[in-house]
Structure 1
Amino acid sequence: MWRLNKVRHKAGRQGDSLEEFKLKRREHEKVLRQARRDRQLVSKRLLLNDDEDQPEVTMDTHSGEQDVISLFHKLQRSGPEREADLKALSKALRDPSAQLTFIKQENSMHLLVGLLTGSNATCRLQAVRCLHELSHSPHTNVAPACLPATPYLLTYLSGQSTKFTELCLYTLGNLCPDSDAVKEKLLAQGVIPSLANCIENQRHNLAVVEAVGFTLSQLLQAKDAAKKMIPIVLASSLPSHLLSVLTPDPNFGLAPAIECAWCLHYLTCSMEDNRVLLAQGALLKSSSLVVSLGGAVAEGNIEEGMELLICPLLRCVGNLLSSCPVEDLSTQVGDVHIVVALCAILKAYLQTQPALARESAWVLNNLTAHSSALCSALLTLNLVPGLIQLLPFSQGINTMILRVLANIAHKKREFCVQLAHLGLLSALCATLKMADQEMVTLSMDMLFMLVISGPQVAEEFVRQGGLSLLEASQYNSEEEIRRRATYLLEHHLLSYSSYCSVDNTSNS
């Protein structure tokens, strides 16, 4: 992040102290992290049976409730039809009203737990299928009713059946969003160690790894996750396993990497200090994958769903940067071509997914705020003209891009001259006319850095009609904009007005 020198009315006082600059930047980073932390993405998943294409939904509510009651009574009596009755019950429980009817039956959950822990493998599978259907319920009182089954679901995570393990994982994940009591109970029952053991034992089974990622991401979105869950997660083997899955599998697809990336995002955005993850190589791994994905995007190889992986990775990189010492940035981020990747992602998703483009600009902003080398890379790799072209865009993209350009200007005086030669002055002449007050304020601050970098830049701005724009800004409704405009005119630009008048006369 960056903050330009505050405008002073007394000559000879340029800029605030370095400590003030750093404090403002930290405050801005905190706001951005908070914004991302508040965007909760809890969801529920329903796994289908192998013999069906889509969920069946009972249309007749009264009939569905009666079916559940009838099946419940049948299941209380053991018999050869029990397996078929359980399968019918799992389908009937897709009706939300039938779910409520079932949990209201006396000893209904006791019956399911008994079947779940019995010796009949088929009945165990159908019982967990019933619990899975219940976990997908839209009614918030269903999840707490399923609590008696959760210790057994956790125990079964160490089983050998992939299908059974997946059902247990997604059922546990579905139960989390509706109830803090469920999360508390699962935490007390050892859900984090169980997930760590599961992913350790099944690390080659990507379907199970994906399910572990889903369940963990649901848990990590709890309001008190930073205090109660994340320390346990960081002390486990889960972070190293999550990082190992980040690279997409060419045969299985992006899904496991997507789930694990979201888990890492929730970890990074919930803590002020991410040194534990940095020590495990989280920033290097995330940024390297961003470079790979950005390269694919630049070549037009945009796989379906790729943005679902890019988004949490960008957030991980952006959040981890705040904990990374500046002197370690080159080794933690690695290839300077990350700026190429970020610009490619920004351009590719600008029209279709502007929020993702803004995330990319945000990471670019965080990188350039810390690194002169990456600021230089944007110039030497000729990426700045493309960024300048984005200044007319709204939705927060233009303000973030202007911050990136200001980060570059703030690093070196010669960078300011280069930015002016690349067309930034004419772009600022356009942004100063915008109705967006933040954009105008940032443009004033950007202009201040450029004009104090050398007389040639100030002369060029005046030649382009900049004086009239600043004079008009002296009547802006925002006092801060009026002050900036007055200061620029009186202390840095009016002395060039006579020169430009002579120059224009000779040209005519």
Structure 2
Amino acid sequence: MDTSSADQVVDLFRKLQHSGLEREAHLTALSKALRNPSTQLTFVKQENSMHLLVGFLSGSNAQCRLQAVRCLHELSHSHHPSMAPACLPATPYLLTYLSGQSTKFTELCLYTLGNLCPETDAVREKLLAQGIIPALANCIENQRHNLAVVEAVGFTLSQLLQTKDAAKKIIPMVLASGLPPHLLSVLTPDPQFGLAPAIECAWCLHYLTCSNVDNRVLLAHGALSQCSTLLVSLGGAVAKGNKEEGLELLVWPLLRCMGNLLSSGPMEDLSTQVGDVRLLAALCALLQAFLQTQPALARESAWVLNNLTADSSALCSALLALNLVPGLIQLLPFSQGINTMILRVLGNIAHKKKDYCVQLAQAGLLPALCATLKMANQEMVTLSLEVLFLLVASGPQVAEEFARHSGLSLLEAIQYNSEGEMRLRATHLLEHQLLSHRMVDNVPSQ
């Protein structure tokens, strides 16, 4: 430990015990000294140290209150197990002050509470009992035009929503609090303030949707429609080459919200909230934009495409009509789970109609599948065989084209070298191909 820093903290604590004209300066010096983690424990170990800070926090001097909050904020950064419980005497005041005071003061209160939330179950239980959820709801409602405060509310709430007991204890309270519509209203970034408030609130919505506690509440507030509209806007901007710095930090939670909400019920019940088919083009644009730099984010885009097309013939038809399929086929060589998710999307299309299978073949899917059948990834080969069967079963022309691409020898190789499901699928396809050829050969002359 830096003994000089520790001695300074002890000295400042003693000076603050004797109030005088210099107490504001002493508190300012103390808040700076507490930035050093080694001095934080020194301070809280002083008898009545927290009582002293709470006294300044609850006093009438506005500057002393601000500096006292700064001190608490520095202490809240500590991960020492004794620190968060030591700060508990101050939390009722921090929560009370969310309803007023200056913007900077409110921000500091929020970030201090946010830092304390995840530390221990006891602290979290106390904060919940003290009313942190309604306090956050009131704060964001009263300060909805102050984006710095809204961002801080989002941070604090996200810290709560990430804790292990969130699904059981916290999320039901949040859904019933009136917070969701306020979080949704912040999703569209402010051109002057930037992305930060939207990012924080989008992550809160992600933590709510992935819990599956009750996504009907969010759907009722139009969460799916809001996410869809914003993704269309962001995807359109990216397609034009306008990729704002940090944009992926907003795209991530929006995609996850969308994917989770689409998993909440039958697509026919949700289709009216998805918006127009421009969403498909936007997702493909985001997929392409982040393919090299953020492959995991590209996979999330493909995952949402999969959830959209799994139960919707209309959206499968739109992918074909918008000529987005050739671009998806070109992504089949990519790994890191992107190609398997893309193949699931193409499989969704193939499952819907035989006519769609013919259109997939015309878009160049057959030679692409011949390439994926040679991959070492067993999941990719199995999915390829599944999609391939749908294609060749759609008509003799597709089956013949597959044979022209040396498809039969590929199937024979898989049948010879593989076991289990892959071998069965390859055998089934070979039998189907041979039967198709016999049927074509035996067509009587007219």
Paired with 2:224 and 2:427, the residues of 1 have a C-alpha distance of 44
Q: Decide which of 466, 471, 495 is 2:435's aligned counterpart.
A: 495
**Contact preservation (8 Å) 1:245, 1:257:** yes
- State the match for 2:391 in structure 1: 450
Q: Decide which of 351, 354, 359 is 2:295's aligned counterpart.
A: 354
Paired with 2:147 and 2:10, the residues of 1 have a C-alpha distance of 38
TM superposition score normalised by structure 2: 0.96
Alignment-mate amino acid for residue 363 of structure 2: L
- State the match for 2:27 in structure 1: 86
Q: Decide which of 33, 45, 50 is 1:104's aligned counterpart.
A: 45
Alignment-mate amino acid for residue 102 of structure 1: F
Q: Deviations over 1:372-424 (max 9, x none)?
A: 11111110000000000000000000000000000011111110111011111
Q: Decide which of 476, 484, 489 is 2:417's aligned counterpart.
A: 476
Paired with 1:116 and 1:273, the residues of 2 have a C-alpha distance of 39
Q: Decide which of 212, 222, 229 is 2:153's aligned counterpart.
A: 212
- State the match for 1:416 in structure 2: 357
Paired with 2:200 and 2:106, the residues of 1 have a C-alpha distance of 17
Paired with 2:149 and 2:419, the residues of 1 have a C-alpha distance of 56
Residue 139 (1) aligns with residue 62 (2): no
- State the match for 2:237 in structure 1: 296
Per the TM alignment, residue 200 of structure 1 is displaced from its structure 2 partner at its CA by 0.9
Alignment-mate amino acid for residue 337 of structure 1: R
Residue 311 (1) aligns with residue 252 (2): yes
Paired with 1:204 and 1:498, the residues of 2 have a C-alpha distance of 72
Per the TM alignment, residue 68 of structure 1 is displaced from its structure 2 partner at its CA by 1.1
Paired with 2:311 and 2:151, the residues of 1 have a C-alpha distance of 34
**Contact preservation (8 Å) 2:114, 2:159:** yes
**Contact preservation (8 Å) 1:196, 1:237:** yes
Per the TM alignment, residue 118 of structure 1 is displaced from its structure 2 partner at its CA by 1.1
Q: Deviations over 1:278-306 (max 9, x none)?
A: 11101001111000110001001111111
Per the TM alignment, residue 455 of structure 1 is displaced from its structure 2 partner at its CA by 1.2
Paired with 2:313 and 2:238, the residues of 1 have a C-alpha distance of 26
Q: Decide which of 107, 124, 127 is 2:65's aligned counterpart.
A: 124
Greater per-residue helix proportion: 2
Judge which range, 388-397 or 246-255, deviates more: 246-255
Per the TM alignment, residue 139 of structure 1 is displaced from its structure 2 partner at its CA by 2.5
Alignment-mate amino acid for residue 397 of structure 2: Q
Paired with 1:302 and 1:83, the residues of 2 have a C-alpha distance of 45
Alignment-mate amino acid for residue 248 of structure 2: E
Paired with 1:285 and 1:413, the residues of 2 have a C-alpha distance of 34
Per the TM alignment, residue 483 of structure 1 is displaced from its structure 2 partner at its CA by 1.4
Paired with 2:108 and 2:283, the residues of 1 have a C-alpha distance of 38
Paired with 2:70 and 2:5, the residues of 1 have a C-alpha distance of 17
**Contact preservation (8 Å) 1:462, 1:496:** no
Q: Decide which of 218, 231, 243 is 2:172's aligned counterpart.
A: 231
- State the match for 1:248 in structure 2: 189
Paired with 1:482 and 1:158, the residues of 2 have a C-alpha distance of 66
- Point out 4+ residue stretches in structure 1 off by more than 4 angstroms: 496-501
Q: Deviations over 1:194-226 (max 9, x none)?
A: 001111111111111111111011111111211
- State the match for 2:273 in structure 1: 332
Per the TM alignment, residue 500 of structure 1 is displaced from its structure 2 partner at its CA by 10
Alignment-mate amino acid for residue 62 of structure 1: T
Paired with 1:214 and 1:330, the residues of 2 have a C-alpha distance of 31
Paired with 1:349 and 1:365, the residues of 2 have a C-alpha distance of 17
Unaligned runs of 5+ in 1: 1-59, 502-508
Paired with 1:475 and 1:416, the residues of 2 have a C-alpha distance of 27
Q: Decide which of 218, 230, 236 is 1:277's aligned counterpart.
A: 218
Q: Percent identity?
A: 80
Paired with 1:141 and 1:389, the residues of 2 have a C-alpha distance of 55
RMSD: 1.6
Residue 191 (1) aligns with residue 102 (2): no
Per the TM alignment, residue 114 of structure 1 is displaced from its structure 2 partner at its CA by 0.9
User: Secondary structure of 1:426's match?
Assistant: helix
Paired with 1:273 and 1:165, the residues of 2 have a C-alpha distance of 31
- State the match for 1:376 in structure 2: 317
Alignment-mate amino acid for residue 77 of structure 1: H
Per the TM alignment, residue 465 of structure 1 is displaced from its structure 2 partner at its CA by 0.2
Alignment-mate amino acid for residue 438 of structure 1: E
Residue 266 (1) aligns with residue 207 (2): yes
- State the match for 1:341 in structure 2: 282
Alignment-mate amino acid for residue 96 of structure 1: P
Alignment-mate amino acid for residue 154 of structure 1: L
Paired with 2:417 and 2:45, the residues of 1 have a C-alpha distance of 65
Q: Deviations over 1:451-487 (max 9, x none)?
A: 1111111111111101111111013344221111112
**Contact preservation (8 Å) 1:96, 1:137:** yes
- State the match for 2:444 in structure 1: none
Unaligned runs of 5+ in 2: 442-446
Paired with 1:127 and 1:461, the residues of 2 have a C-alpha distance of 74
Alignment-mate amino acid for residue 441 of structure 1: T
Q: Decide which of 367, 392, 399 is 1:426's aligned counterpart.
A: 367
TM superposition score normalised by structure 1: 0.85
Paired with 1:141 and 1:394, the residues of 2 have a C-alpha distance of 46
Per the TM alignment, residue 137 of structure 1 is displaced from its structure 2 partner at its CA by 1.7
